[in-house]
Amino acid sequence: MKKEKPKQQVQVKEKKTSIEERLKSIKDDVLSLKSKKTKAKDENKTEKPKKKKEIKTTEVAVVTETKIKKAKKSKNDLEKMYVIPLGGLEEVGKNCTIVQYKDEIIIIDAGAIFPDENLPGIDLVIPDYSFLENNKSKVKGLFVTHGHEDHIGGIPYLYEKIEKDTVIYAGKLTNALIKSKFENFGVKKNLPKMVEVGSRSKISVGKYFTVEFVKVTHSIADSYSLSIKTPAGHVFLTGDFKIDLTPVDNEKVDFVRLSELGEEGVDLMLSDSTNSEVEGFTPSERSVGDAFRQEFQKATGRIIVAVFASHVHRIQQIIDNAAYFGRKIAIDGRSLLKVFEIAPSVGRLNIPKNLLIPISNVEKYKDNEVVILCTGTQGEPLAALSRIAKNMHKHIMLREGDTVIISSTPIPGNEKAVSTNINNILRYDVDLVFKKLAGIHVSGHGSKEEQKLMLNLINPKNFMPVHGEYRMLKAHMKSAIETGVPKDKILITQNGDKVEVTKEYAKINGKVNSGEILVDGLGVGDIGSKVIKDRQQLSEDGIVIVAYSIDKQTGKILSGPEMSTKGFVYYKDSEDTMKEAQDLLLNKIRKEETYLGKDWQDLKGDVRDLLSRFFYEKLKRNPIIVPMLLEIES
């Protein structure tokens, strides 16, 4: 009997070219509308010259009568607001921007970034919140554009620095994910107030700020741009966006409101630069559902899909396809399990009854009746897919007939780990689907033409590319110039730059304390550059421990020096080298005869210097040298 297609599985099949044509059509309409309005304004100016002259004469008469000089405001008299990025510039992650007007501040996002190989042992990197800590009484609210880690991962740490009752404004799913962050942080009671917003929600905070949320599409539900107004001007921040004309949840970009805001006038626009080097348009997320349908159709055995836990739209399409083909879903990965707990509770995942099974029950079903949904798209060592690839998983072992789908592209810096996983998986007789060309992944960020379309809609006086590495910011600058933004109205900024915004100009005017804070376990900010350098040295060249004892009364060496190593050389294979190092130390000690009255720190320094030079000359290695001195009373 033919299976009926579930309602939520309705697929709108559109070729990439047709989507591009529709986007170009929208772009042309926007340009045409702006051209007509500009023309109309010019016609009005030429039609009524006499009236304008009369008004001017009247003004002069009034000025003469009252003896008041009417002068244009100088730059010093203009109202000023400040936009200050604390994170997200010259990097992809830890996004955080603050906007200040007089004695009031609002915060936009507070994200984190995962460390690269240059930060061994570090769990997380967050922005330096010291400026906000020093101005905590001025903070009037936290506004969150969407629920990805690089926008919410630092929130629990931020609330250690600002007032705990600072209100959070975000979409329903985003608030639920933030609440989960606090719970993982150990904060389950006295959470900050969280206000749910939707598209076109207007929030007034403090005496001066009005913030409006405007719907955009991204790779997670409840994604918004922000319009921020104060008496000094109007700032618009796109947030992460793409222009998806066929979104999975049917919640489309609010083109009308974006265009209206552009007509009102925007003094400074901040825009997502992630895909500024990618030509054309980003394909619709719905196209991934079609690609999954094809892979599910072909699969004869188990299907194992690795996906980002926060990619709710993609997870929904996997659920829909599993239900359509009569397969159960087993989930593995702590973050995925958390999303399957949160998203359905806020109406962002529709899961048919009895579709989910425990991972431990997979073997109770036929291979063609199961989908295993897991974490590990980036080759994380302890993630489910990595354990499966290394045949170390408690319940899943790869076998002939399996289809493994990696639905992502490697984040810069993770290429080697992803490649290792792929090589391990291919050692088994399985079908592996991972290339972008297979269509099982599309970006959640707009490409060049979408960025240009957003620029045309908003038509800002000044432009500031954000959310990207330096080369991405520069590429976005080039696109902005192509849309008509003057080069001298574009600001390429760094974290900490204080951007002064008025209704007449925007410029960098000063800098605030910014940087990064390293999180290691329960330690936040207590890991300095010296510790990181030591860890790097340990990982590269290991450690040599030198132990000896000294008579406290006479200062004579009683025993040692004895040497042991970890991660430096295999002692048995390097006995001659280590014996030579030991003899070198003994000769140094004999020359001194006694260390009575000497500073023990000086003695340790002598040992470090001597052995460091020796090992580098002998082996071209720089191990950490740790002298351990024991004082003994005779």
The 3-state DSSP class for residue 543 equals strand
pLDDT of residue 489 exceeding 50, the answer is yes
Q: How far apart are CA 555 and CA 594, in angstroms?
A: 5
Q: Which of 445, 476, 497, 541 is catalytic?
A: 445
Q: How far apart are CA 444 and CA 134, in angstroms?
A: 36
Q: How far apart are CA 422 and CA 144, in angstroms?
A: 35
Query: What topology does CATH give the domain 528-632?
Result: Ubiquitin-like (UB roll) (3.10.20)
How many CB atoms neighbour CB 167 within 10 A?
Answer: 15
Please compute the mean of the pLDDT values over residues 494-513 and round it to a whole number.
96
Q: Does 476 carry a binding-site annotation? A: no
Cα dihedral 252, 256, 262, 268 in deg (nearest 10): -20
Instruction: For CA atoms 168, 172, 174, 178, give the dihedral sign.
Output: positive
Q: Does 395 carry a binding-site annotation? A: no
pLDDT of residue 410 exceeding 60, the answer is yes
Q: Does 234 carry a binding-site annotation? A: no
- Sheet of 202-205, strands arranged across: 202-205, 209-215, 224-230, 233-237, 268-272, 463-466
Instruction: For CA atoms 8, 12, 13, 15, give the dihedral sign.
Output: negative
Q: Does 313 carry a binding-site annotation? A: no
Who wins on pLDDT, 215 or 557? 215
Q: Which helix (H) or strand (E) holds 141?
A: strand 139-143
pLDDT of residue 592 exceeding 80, the answer is no
Number of H helices, E strands in the chain: 17, 26
Is residue 42 annotated as a catalytic residue, yes or no? no
Residue 198 CB partners (closer than 8 Å, separation 6+): 171, 213
Q: How far apart are CA 456 and CA 271, in angstroms?
A: 12
Q: Does 445 carry a binding-site annotation? A: yes
Q: Does 254 carry a binding-site annotation? A: no
| Tens-digit pLDDT profile for residues 113-172 | 876 566 555 667 889 999 999 999 999 999 999 999 999 999 999 999 999 999 999 999
Query: What topology does CATH give the domain 75-279+443-520?
Result: Metallo-beta-lactamase; Chain A (3.60.15)
Q: How far apart are CA 604 and CA 329, in angstroms?
A: 60
Return the minimum-mean-pLDDT range out of 74-83, 335-344, 556-565. Answer: 556-565
pLDDT of residue 363 exceeding 60, the answer is yes
Peptide bond into 561 cis (omega under 30): yes
Return the minimum-mean-pLDDT range out of 77-81, 327-331, 436-440. Answer: 436-440
Who wins on pLDDT, 255 or 555? 255
Considering just the CA atoms, what is the radius of gyration of the chain in Å?
31
Maximum distance among all alpha carbons in the chain? 110
- Please tell me the predicted confidence (pLDDT) of residue 630: 74
Q: Does 442 carry a binding-site annotation? A: yes
Q: Which of 109, 254, 267, 272 is catalytic?
A: 272
Please compute the mean of the pLDDT values over residues 187-211 and round it to a whole number.
94
Q: How far apart are CA 271 and CA 102, in angstroms?
A: 25
| Tens-digit pLDDT profile for residues 411-422 | 767 888 899 999
- What angle (nearest 5°) sits at the alpha carbon of residue 118, between those of residues 117 and 121? 70
Instruction: Using alpha carbons, select from 168, 236, 172 the residue that is nearest to residue 198.
Output: 172
- Please tell me the predicted confidence (pLDDT) of residue 159: 95
- Please tell me the predicted confidence (pLDDT) of residue 28: 67
- 48 pLDDT band, cuts 50/70/90, is very low
Q: Among residues of the chain, what percentage have pLDDT more than 90?
A: 61
Domain 286-438 listed as CATH 3.90.1150.200: no
Is residue 445 annotated as a catalytic residue, yes or no? yes
pLDDT of residue 85 exceeding 90, the answer is yes
Q: 16-47 and 255-264 helices cross at what angle (nearest 10)?
A: 30
Who wins on pLDDT, 564 or 49? 564
All structural domains of the chain with their residue ranges: 16-66, 75-279+443-520, 286-438, 528-632
- Please tell me the predicted confidence (pLDDT) of residue 518: 77
- pTM of the predicted model as reported, rounded to 2 decimal places: 0.77
